[in-house]
Structure 1
Amino acid sequence: MASMTFEPAPDGADPYLWLEDVTGAEALDWVRARNKPTTAAFCDAEFERMRVEALEVLDTDARIPYVNRRGNYLYNFWRDAANPRGLWRRTTLDSYRTDSPGWDVLIDVDELGRADDQKWVWGGAGVIEPDYTRALIGLSPGGSDASIVREFDMLTREFVEDGFQLPPAKSQITWEDPDTVLLGTDFGGDSLTTSGYPRVIKRWRRGKPLADAETIFEGAGTDVRVNASADRTPGFERTLLGRALDFWNEEVYELRGSELIRIEAPTDASVSIHRDWLLIELRTDWTVATTRYTAGSLLAAEYDEFLAGSAELQVVFEPDEHTALYQYAWTRDRLLIVTLADVASRVEIATPGSWRREPLSGIPAATNTVIVSADSHGDEFFLDSSGFDTPSRLMRGTDDGRLAEIKSAPAFFDAENMAVTQYFATSDDGTSIPYFVVRRTDADNPGPTLLNGYGGFETSRTPTYDGVLGRLWLARGGTYALANIRGGGEYGPGWHTQAMREGRDKVAQDFAAVATDLVTRGITTAEQLGARGGSNGGLLMGIMLTGYPEKFGALVCDVPLLDMKRYHLLLAGASWMAEYGDPDNPDDWKFISEYSPYQNISANRKYPPVLMTTSTRDDRVHPGHARKMTAALQAAGHPVWYYENIEGGHAGAADNAQIAFKSALSFAFLWRMLAG
């Protein structure tokens, strides 16, 4: 690839480094100067129609209010037009079964924001179990990962005066008992890792100053983070501590008194404990004595026997060439398991001990099913089934295998004349790459097509219903494609690990192969093909822009990583070095430099137009990536539009109105570029 167009400073400094000053006056002036022409160009009458349609989908009361059980109540967080920042509320199962449940509102985030003169974004509730009387409430200023924490009394419906409180930080906090929390936060000094997450766990007792909290666990500064969890199930009380060595490797310990007991599973395995049982999900092969267990397997052992070194490992699930583990969750006495077979879901329920798996009946055909929630103290679980052209249906099940639909979402677009087809493209090394196409059945000629992909962190992309996509793209005649490229988890951990670090080129090759296949099949042309991705998917869009520009007519690049020379120095970037490599290591930089979009901009190749979006409040992926890339592209004379939302965090939007705006802007851009 050609070298950078802009001339570096004599000392080799990045000429756009100043754009990394997130809230600097000069940088924000630059942002405003680029937001303005973007909104002027695309926020026309058609944009406004799309924005209104998107907001209708996002705010409608006909949406399914997804719930999880805590004791006698089902809890839900809900946003709509009247409550843009949302309501934390609860109801009973009997009421939830009705068409108009009676919701008991515990916290009104809009009202709280007005009282505090803050634009709070809900950050979740850590409710003490099995009491369900107090909650640790996270509230983010503007949607950033950093949140404040306040203790909330669920009986009086008030925040606890002089209760547990934390200022904004990327904290990790959990209940140990009603008067004690385990806490990792910014204590000052060297209490954070280089990734910006907690390095120290302390025990903080009610009524004591935070400065007097007792240190119980520490990691290294180069770790990603440390974490703590406490299981308060009667008879199975345990405190677990974890040290994330990197993104994929973690040491897990049980704290008994002052003794740390290491759970001797592979560090790259996922470890979880439920009552008597230890589950180990393998990412790489593991040999114990003379037995070899395959990567992607789920193993079980009696927990105390495992610690004693006398446990018999039992295979709960073992993958094959086409099938991978996708999800699992406990009820009190059974284990729910969702697998993917060529990206088609299958749900089973297993009995501990024998680990016999039985398929659940009653799941709608030709849909993708996921676990919404499961009650680890009871027998209840909720599943959601949907497809690209099939609205969501929420089903409630119990341990005995009974499954019944309890809620259904409306259709937000007419899918009667649409078909969903799975194809396979061939990547450069001969690997078959699955992808889905959603298209009108009467579409005989190539037409505007949007291709989406991610390709990283073992994240699987599965068919799901998206009313905004349906309204703004499919219903207007567009075709949608979803690529299940390597780097994801659709075929287990091996599908991901072969695309890590020096294998990163496979992600781009797979996505480019799907783009080529769409054209070869006559579904679209290069001029009519757009692509969109966010975060790691935004990095993929940057690679498509600089490495495969001839394959696309337009690109939308959301909250992206783009400067892979400096990504590890920005915000949480250091935590991803296990995925991408260390650019300060010359051997790693050799392969990173071959694809890093910011370092591979050329003035001598024609690039498709690109819409670059980010958020000032994104404290995970630095907005400097998108800012600097835009500045360099403009300097090289390439067509680029830029939009930065002041709120939103890594999600890019803080409420439904902002989501609708951003969605309409992206689709207005794509229609303009791909349909003329």
Structure 2
Amino acid sequence: MRLKRLLLAGAASALLMAEAAHSGLVQTAAAGAAPVITANTTIAFLDDIHGSQAMAWVRAQNLHTTSTLEKDPRYAGFYKTVLSGLQAPDRLAMPSLMGGAVWNFWQDAAHPHGIWREASQASYLKKTPDWTVRLDVDALAKQDGINWVFKGANCLAPADEHCLVALSNGGEDAETLREFNTKTGQFVPGGFVFSRSKQTAAWVDANTILLARDWDGKGTTLTPSGYPYVVKTMVRGAATGQEAELYRGEPSDMAVMPMVLTDGDGHQLALIQRNVNFFETRYAVVEGGKSLRWLALPAKSEIQGMLKGRLIVSVEEDWHPAGQAAIPAGSLLSVDPVAAERDMQVIFTPGASQSIDQVGVTKNTVVVSLFDNVRGRAMRFTAPQAGQPWQATPLALPDMTSIHIVDTDHASDTAFLSVEGYLEPSQLWLLERKGQPRKVKSAPARFKTDNLVTEQFWATSTDGTRIPYFIVHRRDIKLNGANPTLLTAYGGFQVSYTPLYAPEIGQLWLERGGVYVVANIRGGGEFGPAWHEAGRKSGRQKVYDDFASVGRDLISRKITSPRYLGIRGRSNGGLLSGVQMTQHPDLWNAVIIGVPLLDMEHFETMSAGASWAAEYGSMSVPAEADFLRSISPVQNLKADISYPEPFIFTATSDDRVGPVHARRFAARLEAMGKPFFYYEDIEGGHSGTVNAPEVAHERALEAVYLSHRLMDKE
């Protein structure tokens, strides 16, 4: 899996499910001598993330936000409703296929940190599977006295007995890796343990691991983005400090990491993945455990897996291999790992309205989920006989939904797919060797949909480009411009924002008469690499113009008006919200800005910001610097402009974007004497809140804020 997928996982979700942590709400204790920021205050103290002055200011802001919004009589009901959905025992237990069994990570009221459990495939398909708990993270957190968040496991195929379990303290990206045996359900005594770091490991065999990490604890083997660029070979029982260096990238790289692929026929291939920047990658095959042979793949490509000893590769730019026909950007290929440029087959090239979303590899097939005019589709491609083309089979699945690949099994042709829509609860479909997929599990409805409908409209952006958006509303909606409307989008990193069943949106917004809108603006991947490329770097104003154009389209259709129109975004979407607030303050009456980038003049030196220069541009390039200055929300706040009162939320332990962006933005508003709500989860990472009670707490605060701004009479 490429680094960008790891970094962006969940970034566009409207609902962030709990990853793990303590039970109960984050305390909002009295702030004591919290600094009060005025026009003459130096705010550099906020850059000291865990500093006493900074945390006193944070606690004071949290106290103001919670004490104000929790007074609303609706808060308690909102909180209870969201928490009930997050902890519902009849949620779908999403499967992970390992070692011939089904594994699942599960959290509920009794297990806020979560349990990692196993069932046979036959048992899993029953209404109530017979689970065996293999790892109790709550018990581990109590035993170690650490707020462990389970971040998954990396296991040695095909048996999947030897695993490295990733544990994060409080949800940060940095992880501790500990060897775990899935058969015994125990951490291995004297086994591999790799201390806290941003790191990536890949199993070669039961006694050998390729590892990229911060090797000296001083950051000398980390890139400016904070990721490792040195890979070493770890051999069981070898003395510390005797690890053999396999590859050293350049300090200017974004990251370097190992990967090992195994297919259903037993072929294994060890690779080095060198991310030159966020979008350009070089791959090398490790030969004899020591030397490297670099593959002749285009810079913008991604290895998705291996089948029959051949690499499955998606290309994100037009490729013109020597002596071969040009291959369009967005295509999926089968490539020989020895003679990549000379021996390749096109599996699938999307049409003008399509783009590939996910790729899964089984023993004999490649499963693809894709979008067609932002509507979910899926196909299965069967490996051909010599000299024959790949055989494509469209999969019969519901329309107007998102279709995702949950997991595939390399040892068989089994795959699980999920299907959901704005009004359709999540379903799980099983795809086997023959025939079409069949629905095997469904989550119950969490809100009433009888009087709700989903439509897809198109707005015209400032340059004439048509921008699609989904809108969910009551069937009997009155086109009087007075419908409370929440508009959201992402618009970056080629991440697509597609239909998602979010119970808290249904319960706290749609059932109460609100309208929900998701805009598929440029910068995302809804229409392939070109859709993303159009909104990259200095072209990014198109992204912001697209979003504002959707807002104006909603107004022109008399669905809503600025008085009743609010927006929400997080991470890159939080930057989107911040830009919309500063560029179009009169277009919105509510602005939610979550775990955001907001200081675009300095983002490259903040947390992992250097890794995103390929997306946003760099202050070192004059033309790009001019553009970044023109859109940076922190620097473009003006004292003489009236802004909608925003709700800003972030997390202290976010080691990806970091809380300083949000702090600087809020502090600048405070210095100008302008109202805002600010909430910083003191223990959350970039995913924000890390346990169900705190997720419910933050969502209930948002719901009160939106109700006050967009639903209540002034």
TM-score (norm: length of structure 1): 0.96
Q: Following the alignment from structure 2 to structure 1, what is the Cα–Cα distance between the partners of residues 316 and 664?
A: 36
Task: Decide whether aligned partners of structure 1 residues 532 and 141 sit closer, same or farther in structure 2, where only a CA change above 3 A counts.
Answer: same
Cross-structure match for 1:36: 63
Q: Following the alignment from structure 1 to structure 2, what is the Cα–Cα distance between the partners of residues 391 and 197?
A: 37
Cross-structure match for 1:455: 491
Among 429, 434, 457, the residue aligned to 1:423: 457
Q: How does 1:560-579 map to 2 (within 5 A)?
A: 560-579=596-615
Q: For residue 300 of structure 1, what is the amino acid of its counterpart?
A: S
Cross-structure match for 1:185: 213
Task: Decide whether aligned partners of structure 1 residues 131 and 46 sit closer, same or farther in structure 2, where only a CA change above 3 A counts.
Answer: same
Cross-structure match for 1:265: 297
Cross-structure match for 2:315: 282
Cross-structure match for 1:662: 698
Q: Give the conservation status (yes or no) of the 8 Å contact 2:301–2:315.
A: yes
Q: Give the conservation status (yes or no) of the 8 Å contact 2:582–2:633.
A: yes
Q: Give the 3-state SS of the residue equivalent to 2:108 in structure 1.
A: coil
Q: Does structure 1 residue 556 correspond to structure 2 residue 592?
A: yes
> Displacement, 1:235?
4.1
Q: Following the alignment from structure 2 to structure 1, what is the Cα–Cα distance between the partners of residues 179 and 141?
A: 16
Q: Following the alignment from structure 1 to structure 2, what is the Cα–Cα distance between the partners of residues 316 and 666?
A: 45
Task: Decide whether aligned partners of structure 1 residues 302 and 185 sit closer, same or farther in structure 2, where only a CA change above 3 A counts.
Answer: closer
Q: Give the 3-state SS of the residue equivalent to 1:281 in structure 2.
A: strand
Cross-structure match for 1:241: 272
Deviations 1:512-543 (A, max 9, x none): 00011111111111111110000000000110
Q: Give the conservation status (yes or no) of the 8 Å contact 1:360–1:401.
A: no
Q: How does 1:534-553 map to 2 (within 5 A)?
A: 534-553=570-589
Q: Give the conservation status (yes or no) of the 8 Å contact 1:554–1:674.
A: yes
Q: For residue 118 of structure 1, what is the amino acid of its counterpart?
A: I
Cross-structure match for 1:395: 429
Deviations 1:188-236 (A, max 9, x none): 2521111111110000111123321111011111111101012345641
Q: Following the alignment from structure 1 to structure 2, what is the Cα–Cα distance between the partners of residues 273 and 81?
A: 37
> Displacement, 1:290?
5.6
Unaligned runs of 5+ in 2: 1-36
Q: Does structure 1 residue 320 correspond to structure 2 residue 354?
A: no
Cross-structure match for 1:53: 81
Q: Following the alignment from structure 1 to structure 2, what is the Cα–Cα distance between the partners of residues 389 and 148?
A: 39
Q: Give the 3-state SS of the residue equivalent to 1:79 in structure 2.
A: strand
Q: Does structure 1 residue 339 correspond to structure 2 residue 367?
A: no
> Displacement, 1:16?
2.3
Q: Does structure 1 residue 63 correspond to structure 2 residue 121?
A: no
Q: Following the alignment from structure 1 to structure 2, what is the Cα–Cα distance between the partners of residues 462 and 232?
A: 31
TM-score (norm: length of structure 2): 0.91
Q: Give the 3-state SS of the residue equivalent to 1:240 in structure 2.
A: strand
Q: Give the conservation status (yes or no) of the 8 Å contact 2:376–2:400.
A: no
Among 183, 187, 196, the residue aligned to 1:159: 187
> Displacement, 1:664?
0.9
Cross-structure match for 2:414: 380
Q: Give the 3-state SS of the residue equivalent to 1:299 in structure 2.
A: strand
Cross-structure match for 1:198: 228
Q: Following the alignment from structure 2 to structure 1, what is the Cα–Cα distance between the partners of residues 351 and 271?
A: 32
Q: Following the alignment from structure 1 to structure 2, what is the Cα–Cα distance between the partners of residues 383 and 479?
A: 29
Q: Following the alignment from structure 2 to structure 1, what is the Cα–Cα distance between the partners of residues 355 and 262?
A: 32
Q: Give the conservation status (yes or no) of the 8 Å contact 1:20–1:622.
A: no
Q: Following the alignment from structure 1 to structure 2, what is the Cα–Cα distance between the partners of residues 668 and 243?
A: 46
Q: Bigger shift: 524-533 or 231-240? A: 231-240
Q: For residue 356 of structure 1, what is the amino acid of its counterpart?
A: Q
Among 61, 75, 87, the residue aligned to 2:103: 75
Q: Give the conservation status (yes or no) of the 8 Å contact 1:273–1:303.
A: no
> Displacement, 1:469?
1.2
Q: Following the alignment from structure 2 to structure 1, what is the Cα–Cα distance between the partners of residues 114 and 329?
A: 41
Q: Following the alignment from structure 2 to structure 1, what is the Cα–Cα distance between the partners of residues 291 and 521?
A: 44
> Displacement, 1:280?
2.8
Q: Following the alignment from structure 2 to structure 1, what is the Cα–Cα distance between the partners of residues 509 and 706?
A: 9
Q: Give the conservation status (yes or no) of the 8 Å contact 2:284–2:292.
A: yes
Q: For residue 184 of structure 1, what is the amino acid of its counterpart?
A: A
Q: Give the conservation status (yes or no) of the 8 Å contact 1:418–1:441.
A: yes
Q: Following the alignment from structure 2 to structure 1, what is the Cα–Cα distance between the partners of residues 275 and 586?
A: 41
Q: For residue 343 of structure 1, what is the amino acid of its counterpart?
A: V
> Displacement, 1:273?
4.2
Task: Decide whether aligned partners of structure 1 residues 407 and 589 sit closer, same or farther in structure 2, where only a CA change above 3 A counts.
Answer: same
Q: Does structure 1 residue 359 correspond to structure 2 residue 394?
A: yes
Q: Give the 3-state SS of the residue equivalent to 1:639 in structure 2.
A: coil
Q: Give the 3-state SS of the residue equivalent to 1:287 in structure 2.
A: coil
Q: Give the 3-state SS of the residue equivalent to 1:651 in structure 2.
A: coil
Q: Following the alignment from structure 2 to structure 1, what is the Cα–Cα distance between the partners of residues 697 and 361?
A: 38
> Displacement, 1:300?
2.3
Q: How does 1:480-559 map to 2 (within 5 A)?
A: 480-559=516-595
Q: What is the aligned residue count?
A: 663
Q: Give the 3-state SS of the residue equivalent to 1:485 in structure 2.
A: coil
Q: Following the alignment from structure 2 to structure 1, what is the Cα–Cα distance between the partners of residues 107 and 430?
A: 23
> Displacement, 1:242?
1.1
Q: Following the alignment from structure 1 to structure 2, what is the Cα–Cα distance between the partners of residues 565 and 16?
A: 16
Q: Give the conservation status (yes or no) of the 8 Å contact 2:456–2:468.
A: yes
Cross-structure match for 2:144: 116
Unaligned runs of 5+ in 1: 10-14
Q: Does structure 1 residue 673 correspond to structure 2 residue 673?
A: no
Cross-structure match for 1:442: 476
Q: Give the 3-state SS of the residue equivalent to 2:111 in structure 1.
A: coil
* Percent of residue pairs bearing the same amino acid type: 38
Cross-structure match for 1:12: none
Q: Following the alignment from structure 1 to structure 2, what is the Cα–Cα distance between the partners of residues 528 and 373?
A: 41
Q: Give the conservation status (yes or no) of the 8 Å contact 1:143–1:648.
A: yes
Deviations 1:584-605 (A, max 9, x none): 3333211111101111010111
Q: Does structure 1 residue 478 correspond to structure 2 residue 508?
A: no
Q: For residue 352 of structure 2, what is the amino acid of its counterpart?
A: E
CA RMSD, aligned part only?
A: 1.6
Q: Give the conservation status (yes or no) of the 8 Å contact 1:52–1:660.
A: yes
Q: Following the alignment from structure 1 to structure 2, what is the Cα–Cα distance between the partners of residues 502 and 367?
A: 33
Deviations 1:495-524 (A, max 9, x none): 001111010101110000001111111111
Task: Decide whether aligned partners of structure 1 residues 550 and 216 sit closer, same or farther in structure 2, where only a CA change above 3 A counts.
Answer: same
Q: Give the conservation status (yes or no) of the 8 Å contact 1:270–1:282.
A: yes
Deviations 1:53-85 (A, max 9, x none): 001111101110000111221000011111011
Q: Give the 3-state SS of the residue equivalent to 2:190 in structure 1.
A: coil
Task: Decide whether aligned partners of structure 1 residues 40 and 517 sit closer, same or farther in structure 2, where only a CA change above 3 A counts.
Answer: same
> Displacement, 1:606?
1.2
Q: Give the 3-state SS of the residue equivalent to 2:608 in structure 1.
A: helix
Task: Decide whether aligned partners of structure 1 residues 342 and 265 sit closer, same or farther in structure 2, where only a CA change above 3 A counts.
Answer: same
Q: Following the alignment from structure 2 to structure 1, what is the Cα–Cα distance between the partners of residues 70 and 491?
A: 31
Deviations 1:115-163 (A, max 9, x none): 1111111111111111222211111111000111111122322212221
Q: Following the alignment from structure 1 to structure 2, what is the Cα–Cα distance between the partners of residues 301 and 567?
A: 38
Q: Following the alignment from structure 2 to structure 1, what is the Cα–Cα distance between the partners of residues 368 and 181?
A: 35
Q: Does structure 1 residue 132 correspond to structure 2 residue 164?
A: no
Q: Following the alignment from structure 1 to structure 2, what is the Cα–Cα distance between the partners of residues 22 and 522?
A: 45
Q: For residue 420 of structure 1, what is the amino acid of its counterpart?
A: T
Deviations 1:617-643 (A, max 9, x none): 100011000011000012122221100
> Displacement, 1:658?
1.3
Task: Decide whether aligned partners of structure 1 residues 419 and 536 sit closer, same or farther in structure 2, where only a CA change above 3 A counts.
Answer: same
Cross-structure match for 1:230: 260
Q: Bigger shift: 490-499 or 464-473? A: 464-473
Q: Give the 3-state SS of the residue equivalent to 1:69 in structure 2.
A: strand
Q: Following the alignment from structure 2 to structure 1, what is the Cα–Cα distance between the partners of residues 536 and 431?
A: 38
Q: Give the 3-state SS of the residue equivalent to 2:490 in structure 1.
A: coil
> Displacement, 1:668?
1.1
